[in-house]
Chain A
């Protein structure tokens, strides 16, 4: 079955860049997503990328996809304390299919 892995924890200083990494095993993954979850809340979609893309930038967020290595990363520029949350990568085959989530990375932003 599909397997999506992330490092558990990342700590950065306010103003620095954060890079959260994700690896997946399903080569048929077509859509890859990054979600943010704040304590006790649901998931907020941050951005997504199609498997035929290498990079996508949206304001402070940059997503890089290495399809050959099945590696996805999320870079947050100028990280703020409000960015502290758990970040999940997820993959799916199509828009109506189930999402397989990664294990989640807890981002801690320090002053």
Chain B
């Protein structure tokens, strides 16, 4: 259980276009989803925290108008890279935390497989 998927797994787009990446929790409800960015041979850097039904919280230095995050339901969050440029090329990874309520709290975030974005 606790599977997170991302779509697409890789995408190549032209500079100036926008790209949408989906993150889905397949078999659980995720109150909170996180979006990370990973440059080659580097660690993951948190971009934003997304809570269902509310605006995302962006980390310092992350442009909210460029990286649009929507968390419309408990199983889906989307990241849209607007007007992409070659420097936006990166590996984007989402993660999801189980919701509370009757569900036993999970002490982990479940990670998606990542989306590799290449902007030409």
Contact surface of A with B, Cβ cutoff 8 Å: 31, 33, 35, 40-45, 48, 50, 88, 95-96, 98-104
A70 CB to closest chain B CB (Å) equals 18
Contact surface of B with A, Cβ cutoff 8 Å: 6, 31-32, 34, 42-46, 49, 93, 95, 97, 105-114, 116
A96→B97 contact, CB < 8 A: yes
Using CB atoms, name the residue of chain B closest to A100. Answer: B46
A42→B34 contact, CB < 8 A: no
Extra contacts, 9 of them, besides A45-B108, A96-B97 (Cβ < 8 A), are A41-B113, A42-B93, A42-B111, A43-B44, A43-B95, A48-B107, A88-B43, A100-B46, A104-B42
B44→A101 contact, CB < 8 A: yes
A98→B108 contact, CB < 8 A: no
Closest 9 CB pairs of A and B: A42-B113, A43-B111, A42-B111, A42-B114, A101-B43, A101-B44, A45-B108, A98-B46, A103-B43
Q: Which of A41, A95, A102 is B107 in contact with, Cβ under 8 Å?
A: A95
Complex contacts, A43 vs chain B, CB 8 Å: 44, 93, 95, 111
A-B contact pairs, 6 of them (CB 8 A): A41-B114, A42-B112, A43-B44, A96-B32, A98-B46, A102-B43
Give Cα A103–Cα B6 distance, bound, in whole angstroms: 24
Complex contacts, A45 vs chain B, CB 8 Å: 108-111
Using CB atoms, name the residue of chain B closest to A50. Answer: B107
B112→A104 contact, CB < 8 A: no
Using CB atoms, name the residue of chain B closest to A8. Answer: B41
B109→A99 contact, CB < 8 A: yes
Complex contacts, A88 vs chain B, CB 8 Å: 43-44
Known A-B contacts A88-B43, A88-B44; the reply to A98 vs B107 at CB < 8 A is no
Give Cα A104–Cα B40 distance, bound, in whole angstroms: 12
Complex contacts, A35 vs chain B, CB 8 Å: 111
Complex contacts, A103 vs chain B, CB 8 Å: 42-43
